[in-house]
Chains A and B, each alone.
Chain A
Amino acid sequence: MDAFEWVRLFAGCLFILIGVVIFFTELFGVFHFKYVLNRMHAAAMGDTLGISACLIGLMIFSGLNFTTLKMFLIIVFLWFASPVSSHVLSRLEVATNDHLSSYCEIYGDVETLEQELTARRENENTKEEGGTVS
């Protein structure tokens, strides 16, 4: 084996190691968080970044041929499909949960949320100014 082969081996192993670490982070997050909408955040990371790192490592192993092209197609497809499936899953959760307000804060529309946030920010500003004065 010449030097180029060794470089290819180590680069591929590095990418696959990154992918495996990301998959373990995903599993840890899914068991660590307590609610679905939080778990989804951890699960979506492995869907795009984890499989991308693993398949890039395998692409480096396989060299330049049609297999590499197909693996690249899988990565591109998952980049488009994973956010859509996450969106649909969160819609499922919001539509079917009767006690959603006990898990997270709910605002009727965006304007109320913005009003609430600006009110909170102003409140914090006045608090800080009061603190400096006193």
Chain B
Amino acid sequence: MEKEFIYHPIFIALLILFSFMLLICLIRAVKGPRVADRLVAVNMMGTVVMVMISVLALLLKEGYLVDICLIYAMISFLSVVVISKVYIGIYEEQHHNQEKAEGGNADGRV
């Protein structure tokens, strides 16, 4: 019973601290001037949320929450990779279209 009184406040304090960190990461994600800035901030938020879920698993004494944390890590990694690949593809397509349009204009003038 004594153990509860010591561990419980520690976990609550950690959760409050990490939620403030999450807020600061969110500010970076909103402010970031480029797309890569926002993705870095989202990656950081994923890391902080993983620690929060692990703390919650020990606080509630529910071991299966750590499984959710593992899946969260995989989905966070996958989302960063897929979003950056898709964005590179979109950018190159736009670039290609612009070059094509400029080339067409040049040919038309000649």
Chain A positions near chain B (C-beta within 8 angstroms):
1, 5, 9, 13, 16, 19-20, 23-24, 26-27, 30-31, 36, 39-40, 43, 46-47, 50-51, 54-55, 58, 61-62, 65-67, 70-71, 73-74, 77-78, 81, 84-85, 88-93, 95-97
Residues of B within 8 A of A19 (CB): 51
Q: Is the CB of A93 within 8 A of B88?
A: no
Q: Is the CB of B91 within 8 A of A96?
A: yes
- B99 at the binding interface (Cβ < 8 Å): no
Contact of B67 among A26, A70, A97 (CB under 8 A): A70
Contact of A9 among B6, B32, B91, B92 (CB under 8 A): B6
Expressed in whole angstroms, the Cα–Cα distance for A50 and B81 within the complex equals 21
Number of A-B contacts (CB under 8 A): 124
Size bracket, chain B contacts: 35 or more
Q: Is the CB of A88 within 8 A of B81?
A: yes
Residues of A within 8 A of B66 (CB): 67, 70-71, 74
Q: A43-B41, A67-B66 are in contact. List 14 more A-B contacts (CB 8 A).
A: A1-B3, A9-B6, A24-B21, A26-B44, A27-B44, A36-B36, A46-B44, A55-B54, A62-B58, A66-B63, A67-B58, A70-B63, A74-B50, A77-B74
Q: At the interface, is chain A mostly helix, strand, loop or mixed? A: helix
